[in-house]
């Protein structure tokens, strides 16, 4: 399982977000360049419609592949009330010919994306990962060198944390409270619930940039 | 990792495998001073597609195998022999396959038996049985040469060892012999340096040989 929230930010404020995240997390950012291939089962295969994602980490010296399955979101009155999506998610690191295998099994390419940006991984009540990336589409099959932004000027921010059926309430509250620190720059919500950019972003970004990423951010946002 | 050859027992025409042959083979290993070290077990699972229209089954692989190798308990291997594909993955891939609901387990077989040390060689002798059954379907043997990882560099010493082994075993006048059919690893994109992916490919190959020999016996009976 994982807990996840998403939001968007204008590219012009990404540097400020990075400064804020750097101050909050206390770790160095990691560069992110991931080729994501989404596959779906062919019309005759399987009892249900299924989808699997192959992620190729292009930042590694040798491209590293992961197969990822994202399942349904947790349902019920309790799930409705929380601001974080809790869903099943399974990942498996694989050798390089995963795409060939899934094609052989009868899966078809649905779409592919290239995510370029950075990520922070840190422990803060849960093992939280924040990724900030521009989402790009390929004009030609697998041509990651010729990718163009899907939404120019806008980047996707995603906060995720692994969870289990025993601890997800604690993880949800850890993710929620972390998101509050980012609120002046962006609003984070469940995937699919679009909330747009926040009106305070420009002022918050200007303040962060002038502070230069000093140890004290705005007093009310410090941990 | 060390180079390994996986062999299967090829019964003489008109005969079949039985547990007496397995006992004799194990005794033969001990007679050439093989030191019994413990048990080993590998599991091979055949998967079949879950289809809405069975008449289209020919479009999907018939030989899609999932393999659990004892040296790599946290890994899982997929092999589609007809298309020369081998994939190494974390064992969590099994959960992903269950969630996709597009393939299901058709039959699972274990390779299981004892492991022996013999100088720089490690030998494994095992029976091939369906899981939850003692119905003997075949006999396998693994020969591992611990000092070398290169397939080409070890070829001569492996052949010499097998000559000695076959000579010892022939004294027992068993109705068959061990066969080594080396897959073309290059076709699978595997290098000369040995890895568990090579073992997965060899297991898939041995399984295909066993199925072929059972089918040829059945066709002779018919």
Per residue, the 3-state secondary structure of chain A, as one string, reads CEEEEEEEEEHHHHHHHHHHHHHHHCCCCEEEEEEEEEEEECCCECCCCCEEEEEEECCCCCCEEEEEEEEEECCCHHHHHCCCEEEEEEEEEECCCHHHHHHHHCEEEEEEEEEEEEEEEEECCCEEEEEEEEEEEECCCCCHHHEEECCCCEEEEEEEEECCCCCHHHHHHHHHHHHHHHCCCCCCECCCCCCCCCCCHHHHHHHHHHHCCCCCCCHHHCC
Smallest Cβ distance to A45: which of B60, B85, B93?
Answer: B60
B60 vs A contacts (CB less than 8 Å): 45, 105-106
CB-based contact B112:B129 (threshold 8 Å): yes
Is A169 in CB contact (< 8 Å) with chain B?
Answer: no
Q: Greatest CA separation found in chain A?
A: 59
Band of the pLDDT at B222, cuts 50, 70, 90? low
* pLDDT recorded at residue B134: 87
Q: Do B49 and A93 touch (CB under 8 A)?
A: no
- The pLDDT of A201-223, averaged and rounded, is 66
pLDDT of residue A81: 86
Q: Which two tokens stand for residue B150?
A: 């290169």
B189 touches chain A (CB under 8 A): yes
Q: What is the pLDDT of residue A80?
A: 84
Model confidence at A212, pLDDT cuts 50, 70, 90, reads low
Instruction: Tally A–B CB contacts below 8 A.
Output: 89
Instruction: Find tokens 């590694």 and name the residue.
Output: A60
Which pLDDT score, from 0 to 100, does residue B161 have? 97
| A103–chain B Cβ distance below 8 A for any pair | no
Taking alpha carbons only, the member of B216, B146, B147, B155 closest to residue B185 is B155
- When pLDDT is averaged across residues B160-173 and rounded to a whole number, the result is 95
Residue A218 has pLDDT above 60, yes or no: no
| Closest alpha carbon within chain B to A89 | B96
pLDDT band at B213 (very low <50, low <70, confident <90, very high): confident
pLDDT-derived band at A198 (thresholds 50, 70, 90) equals confident
Which of A1, A106, A108, A110 to probe the B interface (max B CBs under 10 A)? A106
Q: Which residues of A touch B64 (CB under 8 A)?
A: 105
pLDDT at A137 over 70: yes
Model pLDDT for residues A83-104, shown as the tens digit of each residue: 999 999 999 999 999 999 999 9
Beta carbons within 10 angstroms of residue B88's beta carbon: 22
Q: Which of A68, A87, A92 to mutate to test the interface with B (most CBs of B within 10 A)?
A: A92
Helices A14-25 + A168-182 axis angle, to 10: 130
Look at residue A22 and tell me whether its pLDDT is greater than 50.
yes
pLDDT at A222: 41
Q: Which of residues 180-219 of A touch B (CB under 8 A)?
A: none
Tell me: pLDDT of A219 over 70. no
Q: For residue A210, what pLDDT is reported?
A: 86
Residue A153's pLDDT band, with cuts at 50, 70 and 90, is very high
Shortest distance between the Cα of B85 and any Cα of chain A, in A, equals 7
Query: What per-residue confidence (pLDDT) applies to B112?
Result: 96
| pLDDT at residue number B217 | 67
Q: Which of helix, strand or coil describes residue A145?
A: helix
d(CA B67, CA B69): 6
Over 90: is that where the pLDDT of B170 sits?
yes
Q: In this predicted model, which residue has the larger pLDDT, A207 or A119?
A: A119
* pLDDT band per the 50, 70, 90 thresholds, residue A9: very high
Q: How far is A51 from chain B (nearest CA, A)?
A: 7
Q: Is the pLDDT of residue B202 over 80?
A: yes
Q: Do B86 and A97 touch (CB under 8 A)?
A: yes
DSSP count for chain B of H helices, then E strands = 4, 9
The per-residue pLDDT for range A159-185, each reduced to its tens digit, is: 999 999 999 999 999 999 999 999 999
Answer whether B47's CB lies under 8 Å from B64's CB: yes
Binning pLDDT at 50, 70 and 90, where does residue A186 land? very high
Give the pLDDT mean for A56-67: 96
B83: chain A residues, CB-CB within 8 Å: 100, 104
**B185 — contact with chain A (CB < 8 Å)?**
no
Mean pLDDT, residues B102-128: 96
Burial A152-163 (b: 16+ CB within 10 A, else e): eebbbbbbbbbb
Considering only CB atoms, B102 lies closest to which of A46, A95, A104, namely: A46
Residue whose tokens read 């947790």: A74
Per the model's pLDDT, the better-predicted residue between B14 and B87 turns out to be B87
Distance CA A40, CA A96 (A): 19
Q: Is A88 on the interface with B (CB under 8 A)?
A: yes
Any A CB within 8 A of B175 CB: no
Inspect the interface and report whether the beta carbons of A97 and B85 lie closer than 8 Å. Answer: yes
Helices A201-211 and A14-25 cross at an angle (nearest 10°) of 60
Residue A197: DSSP 8-state: -
Whether A28 and A59 have beta carbons less than 8 Å apart is answered as no
Q: Which phi and psi (to 5°) does residue B92 adopt?
A: -65, -15
A108 and chain B in contact, CB less than 8 A: no
Residues B61, A105: C-beta atoms closer than 8 Å: yes
Q: What is the mean pLDDT of residues B103-110?
A: 95
**Nearest C-alpha in B relative to A94:** B89
Min Cα–Cα distance to chain B from A26, Å: 31
Rounded to the nearest integer, the mean pLDDT of chain A is 92
What's the mean pLDDT in A117-133? 97
pLDDT of residue B221: 67
C-beta separation of B168 from B146 below 8 A: no
């Amino acid at each position: 399982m994982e807990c996840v929230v998403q939001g968007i930010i204008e590219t012009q404020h990404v540097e400020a977000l990075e400064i804020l995240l750097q101050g909050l997390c206390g770790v160095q950012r990691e560069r992110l360049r991931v080729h994501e291939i989404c596959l779906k089962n062919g019309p005759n295969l399987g009892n249900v419609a299924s989808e699997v994602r192959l992620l190729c980490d292009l930042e590694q010296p040798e491209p590293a592949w992961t197969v990822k399955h994202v399942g349904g979101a947790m349902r019920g009155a309790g799930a409705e009330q929380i601001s974080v999506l809790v869903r099943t998610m399974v990942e498996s690191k694989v050798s390089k010919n995963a795409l060939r295998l899934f094609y052989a099994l009868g899966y078809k390419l649905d779409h592919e994306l290239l995510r370029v940006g950075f990520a922070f991984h840190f422990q803060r009540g849960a093992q939280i990962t924040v990724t900030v990336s521009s989402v790009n589409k390929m004009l030609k099959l697998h041509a990651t060198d010729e990718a163009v932004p899907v939404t120019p000027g806008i980047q996707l921010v995603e906060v995720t944390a692994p969870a289990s059926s025993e601890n997800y309430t604690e993880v949800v509250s850890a993710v929620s409270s972390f998101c509050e620190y980012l609120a002046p720059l962006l609003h984070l919500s469940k995937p699919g619930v679009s909330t747009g950019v926040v009106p305070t972003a420009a002022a918050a970004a200007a303040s962060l940039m002038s502070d230069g990423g000093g140890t004290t951010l705005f007093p009310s946002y410090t941990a | 990792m060390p180079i390994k050859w996986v062999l299967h027992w090829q019964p003489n025409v008109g005969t079949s495998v039985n547990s007496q042959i397995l006992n004799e083979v194990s005794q033969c290993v001990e007679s050439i001073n093989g030191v019994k070290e413990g048990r080993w077990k590998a599991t091979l699972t055949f998967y079949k597609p879950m289809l809405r229209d069975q008449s289209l089954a020919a479009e999907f692989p018939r030989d899609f195998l999932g393999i659990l190798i004892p040296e790599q308990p946290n890994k899982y291997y997929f092999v589609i022999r007809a298309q020369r594909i081998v994939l190494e993955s974390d064992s969590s891939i099994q959960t992903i396959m269950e969630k996709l609901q597009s393939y299901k387990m058709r039959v699972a077989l274990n390779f299981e038996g004892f492991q022996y040390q013999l100088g720089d060689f490690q030998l494994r002798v095992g029976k091939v049985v369906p899981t939850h059954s003692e119905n003997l379907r075949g006999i396998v043997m693994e020969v591992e040469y611990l000092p070398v990882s290169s397939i080409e560099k070890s070829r001569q010493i492996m052949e010499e060892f097998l000559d000695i082994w076959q000579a010892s075993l022939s004294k027992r006048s068993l109705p068959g012999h061990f066969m080594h059919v080396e897959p073309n690893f290059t076709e699978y994109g595997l290098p000369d340096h040995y890895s568990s992916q090579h073992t997965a490919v060899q297991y898939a190959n041995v399984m295909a040989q066993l199925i072929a020999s059972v089918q040829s016996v059945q066709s002779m009976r018919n």
